[in-house]
């Protein structure tokens, strides 16, 4: 087979572009720095496209594999590969990076080069997480990614940014280090850090439960699941707009993806054993966090809580162990990537003009910014799960799957259609409708071409996936069948062994 370096390119093109921006960019050459970053971002996006077009959708295993010895002392390989779950997420990542660079075009005025470089490097590292098939390689990407995000929130964030960014870093680090312990444990069991080998290792139930909990700590923080979510509202509120976009669109998905890659296939029996708890936690996230979102006064905080609530559907879909639920969860991940990114961009558009995130300081924005209001209302509808948008597809699939599992689970999950609509639409009403609340609102200017372009693309994608979700489900079908097949095989040591 001919060597295929698509994945390596996807990882390293943005990282190298980031380093180049860092080396060549400068605040005194702001415009050149921005264009260079944009070119890097677009190049990074283009090199990921072959993953979509050359992907063999009939095949459920790993494709585009690359493997070379990296650290022979510990049997660690530079081993990459993708399946139907990771490809959409990689594309989401490289696409989001371009959006982020455009979104920060005029807003960021100090240390532009460092800022843009952070996003480009982060993009490469996140793609690395989605494509690593060696657990230490995965871990290195997973942790390194924290460094640029830490700097982005801490340096370009809002008032309380230092508290938020340190909280973000430490929460994530705590979980990840426990995951590292689990990796090392599995290494001593299997003599390898290969993720695929981990999937086949035989483990007694109590060990599986410990391993599952170690992974759970890492991923539940990232997704985030209630009650480990408290870092997210802080981080979102303080992060600059593009930082929030990456956090919501991609970083949260890393947690979801990792559940499918590690926690569940390595400890399938523990996953089944603990699925009741996981479903309960997901429902708490869906219902309780939606209620919390309802009372928020800060727009970004509201969207942050709505993210947690929507990610509850993802974990719910995973632990129903059905094809429909799983695919619904994956669609939900992608769709949430677009919608939450768009929502944060909308807040960013307002914030850039008014420097306030308080709902109370707005009112009647639709009078002065009609085009923007149209976009915002569209994304709000998508966020509350309007049929025809991608937000509906994922949630509906998961709810259908949960009806098969248990009526009351489905019932509680379905309440989100009411609560989601209430907190989003209520916010829209207060911000956009009525008379212009004050002079500042009355003086607002509508979208610039740059803003129109980025919101337009996101709107098209949200609508596209909503109408034709097969774009994603077609890719994931073979992989999710394989995954569920694997999940039904017990890995407990057989009696008498």
Partner 1 sequence: MDTIKADLLMSLPEITVLSMAMVVLIIDLFLNKKNRLVIYGLAQVTLFVAAYLVWGSHTTTVDYAYSGMFVDDPLSEILKLATLIGAAIMLVYTRHYMMLRNMFSGEYYALLLFATAGMMVMISGHNMLSIYVGLELLSLCIYAMVALDRDNPKATEAAMKYFVLGALASGMLLYGMSMIYGVTGSLDISVIAQRLHDSALINPDFVKNPVLVLGLVFIVAGLAFKFGAVPFHMWAPDVYQGSPTGITILIGSIPKFAGFAMAIRLLTTGLDALVLDWQNMLLIMAVLSIAIGNITAIAQTNLKRMLAYSTISHIGFLLLGLMSGTLNGYASSMVYVMAYVLMALAGFGVILMLSRKGFEAEQLDDLKGLNQRSPWAAFLMLITMFSMAGVPPTLGFYAKFSVLQAALQAGFVWIVVFAVLMAVVGAFYYLRIIKLMYFDEPLDDAVIDAPLDMRMVLSLNALALLGIGLMPQGLLELCGRTIYASLH
Contact residues toward partner 1 (CB under 8 A) are 70-74, 114, 136, 139-140, 143-144, 146-147, 150-151, 154-155, 161-162, 165-166, 169-170, 173-174, 177-178, 180-181, 184-185, 187-188
If the CB atoms of residues 75 and 361 are measured against partner 1, the closer one turns out to be: 75
Smallest gap from residue 239 Cβ to partner 1 (A): 13
Question: Shortest Cβ distance from residue 162 to partner 1 (Å)?
Answer: 5
Q: Which two tokens stand for residue 114?
A: 């460092």
**Minimum CB–partner distance for residue 210 and partner 1 (Å):** 9
Nearer to partner 1, 68 or 494 (CB): 68
Q: Which two tokens stand for residue 173?
A: 């680090």
Q: How far is the CB of 125 from partner 1 (least distance, A)?
A: 9
Query: C-beta of 33: minimal distance to partner 1 in Å?
Result: 14
DSSP letter string, 65-89: EEEEEEEGGGTEEEEEEE-TTHHHH
Which residue, 154 or 328, has its beta carbon nearer to partner 1? 154
Least distance to partner 1, CB of residue 436, Å:
37
Q: What is the residue-wise DSSP string for 159-208?
A: TTHHHHHHHHHHHHHHHHHHHHHHHHHHHHHHS--BHHHHTT----HHHH
Residue 181 or 360 with smaller CB distance to partner 1:
181
How many whole angstroms separate alpha carbon 296 and alpha carbon 301? 7
3-state helix, strand, coil in the chain (%, to 5): 75, 5, 20
Q: Roughly how many angstroms between the first and final C-alpha of the chain, as a whole number?
A: 39
Q: Cβ 177 to partner 1, closest distance in Å? A: 4
Based on CB atoms, which residue is closest to partner 1, 244 or 306? 244
Question: In this structure, is the dihedral angle defined by the CA atoms of residues 214, 122, 464 and 285, taken in order, positive or negative?
Answer: positive
Residues 6+ apart with CB under 8 A from 351: 241, 357
| Dist. CA 264–CA 267, nearest whole Å | 5
User: Are the beta carbons of 446 and 368 closer than 8 angstroms?
Assistant: yes
Q: 257 with 141: CB under 8 angstroms? A: no
Q: Which is nearer to partner 1, 236 or 310 (CB)?
A: 236
Residue with Cβ nearer partner 1 (220 or 454)? 220
């Amino acid at each position: 087979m001919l060597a295929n370096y698509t994945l390596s390119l996807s990882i390293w093109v943005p990282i190298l572009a980031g380093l180049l921006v860092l080396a060549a960019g400068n605040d005194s050459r702001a415009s050149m720095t921005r264009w260079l970053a944009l070119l890097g971002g677009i190049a990074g996006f283009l090199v990921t496209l072959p993953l979509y077009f050359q992907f063999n959708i009939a095949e459920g295993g790993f494709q585009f594999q690359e493997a070379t010895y990296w650290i022979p002392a510990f049997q660690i390989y530079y081993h990459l590969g993708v399946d139907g779950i990771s490809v959409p997420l990689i594309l989401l990542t490289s696409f989001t990076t371009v959006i982020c660079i455009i979104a920060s075009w005029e807003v960021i005025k100090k240390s532009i080069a460092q800022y843009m470089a952070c996003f480009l490097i982060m993009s490469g590292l996140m793609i690395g997480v989605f494509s690593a098939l060696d657990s230490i390689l995965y871990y290195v990407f997973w942790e390194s990614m924290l460094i640029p995000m830490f700097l982005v929130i801490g340096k370009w964030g809002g008032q309380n940014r230092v508290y938020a960014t340190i909280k973000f870093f430490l929460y994530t680090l705590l979980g990840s280090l426990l995951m590292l312990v689990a990796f090392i444990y599995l290494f001593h069991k299997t003599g390898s850090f290969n993720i695929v080998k981990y999937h086949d290792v035989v483990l007694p139930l109590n060990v599986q439960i410990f391993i599952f909990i170690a992974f759970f700590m890492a991923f539940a923080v990232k997704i985030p699941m209630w009650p480990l979510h408290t870092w997210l509202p802080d981080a979102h509120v303080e992060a600059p707009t593009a930082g929030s976009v990456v956090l919501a669109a991609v970083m949260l998905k890393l947690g979801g993806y990792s559940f499918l890659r590690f926690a569940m296939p390595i400890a399938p029996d523990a996953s089944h054993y603990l699925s009741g708890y996981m479903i309960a936690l997901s429902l708490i996230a869906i219902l309780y966090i939606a209620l919390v979102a309802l009372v928020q006064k800060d727009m970004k905080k509201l969207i942050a809580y709505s993210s947690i609530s929507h990610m509850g559907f993802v974990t719910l879909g995973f632990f129903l162990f059905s094809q429909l639920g799983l695919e619904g969860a994956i669609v939900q991940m992608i769709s949430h990537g677009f919608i939450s990114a768009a929502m944060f961009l909308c807040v960013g558009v307002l914030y850039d003009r008014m420097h306030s995130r308080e709902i109370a300081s707005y009112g009647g924005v639709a009078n002065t910014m009609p085009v923007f209001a149209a976009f915002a209302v569209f994304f709000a509808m998508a966020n509350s799960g309007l049929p025809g948008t991608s937000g509906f597809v994922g949630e509906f699939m998961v709810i259908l799957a949960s009806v098969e599992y248990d009526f009351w689970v489905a019932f509680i999950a379905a309440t989100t259609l009411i609560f989601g609509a209430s907190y989003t639409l209520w916010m829209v009403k207060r911000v956009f409708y009525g008379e212009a609340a004050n002079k500042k609102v009355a003086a607002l200017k509508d979208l610039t071409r740059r803003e129109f372009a980025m919101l337009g693309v996101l709107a098209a994608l949200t609508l596209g996936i909503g109408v034709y979700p097969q774009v994603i489900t077609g890719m994931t079908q073979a992989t999710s069948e394989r995954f569920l097949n694997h999940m039904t095989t017990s890995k407990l040591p057989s009696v008498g062994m």
